[in-house]
Structure 1
Amino acid sequence: MRLGRKKMPVYRLVVTESASARNGRFIETIGTYNPIGATETVQLNSERAKYWISVGAQPTAAAAGILRRNGVEFKGHPKGEYVAADSK
């Protein structure tokens, strides 16, 4: 979910139903991502991210990259399903 102002984006990492609108209702906020500045800033609740992946949540490609860079290990299956690395 994009927040911020013109040319100064800040993103929320949220858990949402697949049928919801892109900026619509969401279940839980698991973090924020600020790509602007000398270093990108990520605040992430990794325990909640691992939980949601373990119960079947599928991150987008952009969210998966942010999660991997911040230590949330999971593996993708050929069918597109994701599993948290420590859950099995």
Structure 2
Amino acid sequence: MVKIRLTRMGKRGQPFYRVIVVDSRKVRDGAYIESLGYYNPMRKPFELNINNDRALFWLERGAQPTDTVRSLLSKNGVMQKLHEKKYAKSSKE
């Protein structure tokens, strides 16, 4: 199964994370399919940069986000776009 999850980068005490698409059987910091962006929780307010189009592309093809990534995607508006696209009523009604 393909997952969208975080991989840890940075040095000890100063983490930042990449948002990646990866096979769920791979280890946390192993090889990944595609990098979608990054998340830096150390900045106040936190820094989040995600390629929304690519994230939507992978979600439409069945990639499952982890709980943390789902929250980050919601804050970025990707989950709302997915919901609207998936459950949009046809305009002919």
TM-score normalised to structure 2 length: 0.79
Aligned amino acid, residue 50 of structure 1:
L
Query: Does structure 1 residue 61 correspond to structure 2 residue 75?
Result: no
Higher normalized contact order (CA 8 Å, seq sep 6+, divided by chain length):
2
Identity %: 35
Structure 1 segment 44-59 matched on structure 2, within 5 A: 44-59=50-65
Aligned amino acid, residue 47 of structure 1:
D
Instruction: Give the number of aligned pairs.
Output: 79
Which residue pairs with 1:35 in the alignment? 41
Aligned amino acid, residue 41 of structure 1:
E
Q: CA RMSD in A?
A: 1.2
Bigger Rg, which one: 2
Between the aligned partners of 2:43 and 2:28, the Cα distance in structure 1 is 26
| Structure 1 segments of 4+ aligned residues over 3 angstroms from their partners | none
Which residue pairs with 1:77 in the alignment? none
Between the aligned partners of 2:43 and 2:50, the Cα distance in structure 1 is 18
Q: Answer 1 or 2: which has greater helix percent.
A: 2
In structure 2, runs of 5+ residues without a counterpart are 1-6, 88-93
CA shift at 1:6, angstroms? 1.2
Which residue pairs with 1:72 in the alignment? 78
In structure 1, runs of 5+ residues without a counterpart are 75-83
